[in-house]
């Protein structure tokens, strides 16, 4: 199909040139009058009608310009005028941006080739340019997967339906109908698209700095379920007033609304972590070989004390992620601990001791002693000890002990009654989102008792461990009473 405009008797070229010149003069006069403030002198109702007439006239003029662009594009005359392409011509004397040029060329070509009835209706002023864009976009997406022969038939039928709707309905209705059009024009393709979306779903975790970048593709149903669950968690935090001061703006002005929208992705990420924690903590994932799914963190007590950190296992990844010691301490505050009796390997053919004490052969001891002496002479005794611990990273597991040292259910309930929410000053995060923190670290001899534990939200658990805040008993307040802990910020060293 091609667009064939009605023929004008006489001298059509001359008549068209005269009309364009008259239009140019009329637009220039309108611009001058507007610049001189003539619009202010027009009464309200008349001004409204005048503006409506201008919009319709300009939209109809856009139809003429779009069709003219297609004619110029097909004529092949631009090269003779010194233009490398239609886009170059549009960007030059027509003053169009690169994006506008691309859209104009594509639209003019599509209208002349595939949508002649729509082009005619636009030129006649029966439909708007916005409706034309929705018609062509909707049909193109609806029939693109059909065979070429069937595509033309279905496109023609769809054009007639959408044009009739565009003549009597707002552009928004045309856009909505265009989205549903694929279910009628290509029902098999629509069903296959849903199957493909389900099969193509994926999630990927990629290391990025100190964390991971989550990316993926979900089908619409899964996306709806996930966003509904995460939004429900975030909305609950808002209703309960349990967001931290950093996560919730204090007012309701435009800037507060902007900040709330900017914080939404961060809150959704927190909600995802909260959702995963609930599934793991509540045992909702069942067991495998009698063991509940859990996050595995490998820690050597000596290494944590020495500041060497530990290893966090990411399922599906061969190499663990290294975490600093303070992050390890924060995680251990509210985690089950499985003590492991280990032994250092004894070299080729060595069995090692099985009594829990490290054992090395004479050769290994000599090599280690030599290395320690060299290191001590070069960088000092404490660094030599650190190097010795680094050499001792490889250990063999002999026995896995029983779980111990976590906050019990009874103690947890007592802490919730005492602290009421996150105990950090000014924070009111709900107790369901807090961790039980040992004020004196368990590995340093701290007891799992109400006099040594406090509830902290995730953010302020980070502030205490990685951020350097300290917690001390409040003078005169019993450990069983609310407000029994005092929080002190870290002392920041001045940068040289």
| Domain-ending residue, one of 400, 427, 458 | 400
CA distances from 260 to 227, 243, 255, 270, 328 (A): 17, 12, 9, 14, 31
Summarize the confidence of residues 26-47 as an average pLDDT.
Answer: 88
Joined together, the tokens standing for residue 373 give 């002496």
CA distance 27 to 452: 81
CB 359 within 8 A of CB 342: no
Task: Please give the full DSSP string across 323-348, using - where no structure is assigned.
Answer: E-HHHHHHHHTTS-B--EEEE---ST
- Is residue 186 in some structural domain? yes
Residue 271 and residue 309 in one domain:
no
CA distance 467 to 424: 13
CA distance 166 to 120: 13
> For residue 136, with 0-12 CB atoms within 10 Å meaning exposed, 13-18 middle and 19 or more buried, which class applies?
buried
pLDDT value, residue 361: 29
Q: What is the CA radius of gyration of the chain?
A: 36
Whole-number percent of the chain with pLDDT over 70? 77
Residue 379 has pLDDT above 60, yes or no: no
Which helix H or strand E contains 312, and what residues bound it? strand 310-312
Residue 152 and residue 274 in one domain:
no
* Closest residue by Cα to residue 435 from 443, 427, 285, 476: 427
pLDDT value, residue 469: 92
- Is residue 5 in some structural domain? no
| Domain-ending residue, one of 380, 400, 420 | 400
Helix (H, G, I), strand (E, B), or coil: what is residue 222? helix
Residue 28 has pLDDT above 60, yes or no: yes
Going by pLDDT thresholds of 50, 70 and 90, the confidence category of residue 122 is very high
- Cβ-Cβ contacts under 8 Å for 442 (sequence gap 6 or more): 332, 337, 405, 448
- Is residue 286 in some structural domain? no
CA distance 26 to 20: 10
CA distance 459 to 463: 6
- Is residue 371 in some structural domain? yes
| Domain-ending residue, one of 378, 400, 422 | 400
Summarize the confidence of residues 127-156 as an average pLDDT.
Answer: 91
Q: pTM to 2 decimals?
A: 0.62
- Cβ-Cβ contacts under 8 Å for 244 (sequence gap 6 or more): 422, 427, 429, 457, 459, 460
CB 347 within 8 A of CB 361: yes
Helix (H, G, I), strand (E, B), or coil: what is residue 338? coil
pLDDT value, residue 376: 43
- Is residue 76 in some structural domain? yes
Residue 333 has pLDDT above 90, yes or no: no
pLDDT value, residue 202: 94
Residue 18 and residue 115 in one domain:
yes
CA max distance for the chain: 113
Indicate the pairing of strand 310-312 with strand 297-298. antiparallel
342, β-bridge pairs: 397
- Is residue 173 in some structural domain? yes
pLDDT digits (tens, 9 = 90+) for 68-92: 998 888 888 888 888 889 999 999 9
pLDDT value, residue 447: 83
Residue 54 and residue 137 in one domain:
yes
pLDDT digits (tens, 9 = 90+) for 249-302: 555 555 565 666 678 888 899 999 988 888 887 777 776 556 567 777 777 777
400, β-bridge pairs: 340
Residue 245 and residue 312 in one domain:
no
Summarize the confidence of residues 115-131 as an average pLDDT.
Answer: 94
CA distance 422 to 432: 9
Lowest mean per-residue pLDDT among 2-16, 108-122, 326-340: 2-16
pLDDT digits (tens, 9 = 90+) for 429-451: 878 788 889 898 877 778 888 88
Summarize the confidence of residues 380-394 as an average pLDDT.
Answer: 51
pLDDT value, residue 434: 86
Residue 51 and residue 178 in one domain:
yes
Residue labelled with tokens 């595939």: 114
Phi, psi for 470 (deg, rounded to 5):
-115, 150
204-230: burial string, b at 16+ Cβ within 10 Å, e else: eeeeeeeeeeeeeebbeeeeeeeeeeb
Residue labelled with tokens 């393709």: 189
Residue 33: domain span? 12-195
Helix (H, G, I), strand (E, B), or coil: what is residue 411? helix
Residue 168 and residue 258 in one domain:
no
CA distance 312 to 323: 7
Mean pLDDT of the chain: 78
Residue 50 and residue 150 in one domain:
yes
pLDDT value, residue 446: 82
Residue 405 has pLDDT above 50, yes or no: yes
- Is residue 2 in some structural domain? no
* Closest residue by Cα to residue 331 from 305, 299, 306: 299
* Number of folded domains that form the chain: 4
Residue 242 and residue 349 in one domain:
no
CB 201 within 8 A of CB 194: no
- Is residue 79 in some structural domain? yes
Residue 44 and residue 127 in one domain:
yes
Residue 338 and residue 437 in one domain:
no
Joined together, the tokens standing for residue 496 give 């040289």
pLDDT digits (tens, 9 = 90+) for 172-190: 999 999 988 888 888 888 8
CA distance 129 to 139: 16
Residue 58 and residue 123 in one domain:
yes
pLDDT value, residue 8: 53
């Amino acid at each position: 199909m091609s667009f064939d405009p009605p023929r004008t008797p006489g001298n059509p070229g001359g008549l068209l040139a005269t009309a364009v010149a008259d239009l140019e003069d009329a637009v220039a006069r309108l611009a001058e009058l507007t610049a001189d403030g003539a619009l202010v002198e027009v009464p309200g109702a008349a001004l409204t009608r005048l503006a409506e007439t201008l919009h319709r006239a300009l939209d109809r003029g856009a139809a003429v310009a779009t069709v003219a662009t297609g004619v110029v594009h097909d004529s092949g005359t631009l090269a003779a005028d010194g233009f490398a392409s239609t886009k170059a011509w549009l960007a030059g004397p027509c003053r169009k941006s690169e994006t506008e040029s691309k859209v104009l060329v594509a639209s003019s070509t599509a209208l002349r080739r595939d949508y002649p009835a729509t082009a005619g209706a636009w030129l006649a002023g029966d439909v708007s340019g916005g409706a034309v864009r929705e018609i062509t976009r909707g049909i193109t997406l609806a029939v693109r997967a059909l065979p070429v022969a069937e595509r033309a038939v279905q496109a023609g039928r769809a054009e007639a339906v959408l044009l009739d709707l565009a003549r009597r309905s707002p552009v928004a209705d045309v856009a909505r109908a265009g989205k549903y059009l694929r279910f009628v024009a290509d029902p098999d393709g629509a069903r296959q698209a849903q199957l493909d979306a389900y099969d193509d779903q994926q999630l990927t975790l990629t290391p990025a700095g100190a964390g991971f970048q989550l990316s993926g593709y979900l089908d619409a149903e899964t996306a709806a379920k996930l966003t509904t669950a995460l939004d429900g968690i975030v909305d609950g935090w808002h209703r309960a007033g349990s967001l931290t001061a950093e996560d919730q703006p204090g007012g309701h002005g435009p800037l507060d609304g902007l900040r709330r929208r900017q914080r939404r992705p961060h809150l959704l990420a927190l909600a995802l972590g909260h959702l995963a924690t609930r599934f793991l903590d509540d045992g909702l994932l069942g067991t495998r070989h009698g063991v509940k799914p859990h996050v595995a963190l490998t820690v050597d007590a000596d290494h944590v004390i020495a500041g060497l950190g530990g290893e966090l296992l990411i399922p599906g990844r061969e190499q663990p992620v290294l975490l600093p010691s303070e992050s390890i301490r924060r995680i251990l505050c509210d985690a089950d601990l499985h003590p492991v009796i280990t032994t250092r390997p004894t070299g080729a053919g060595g069995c090692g001791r099985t009594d829990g004490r490290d054992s090395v052969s004479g050769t290994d001891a000599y090599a280690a002693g030599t290395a320690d002496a060299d290191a001590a002479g070069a960088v000092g005794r404490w660094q030599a000890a650190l190097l010795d611990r680094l050499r001792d990273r490889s250990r063999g597991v002999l026995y896995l002990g029983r779980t111990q040292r976590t906050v019990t259910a009874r103690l947890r309930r007592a802490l919730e009654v005492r602290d009421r929410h996150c105990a950090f000053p000014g924070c009111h995060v709900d107790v369901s989102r807090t961790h039980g923190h040992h004020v004196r670290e368990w590995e340093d001899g701290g007891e799992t008792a109400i006099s040594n534990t406090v509830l902290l939200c995730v953010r302020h658990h980070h502030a205490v461990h990685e951020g350097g805040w300290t917690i001390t008993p409040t003078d005169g307040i019993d450990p069983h009473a609310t407000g029994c802990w005092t929080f002190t910020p870290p002392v920041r060293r001045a940068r040289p």
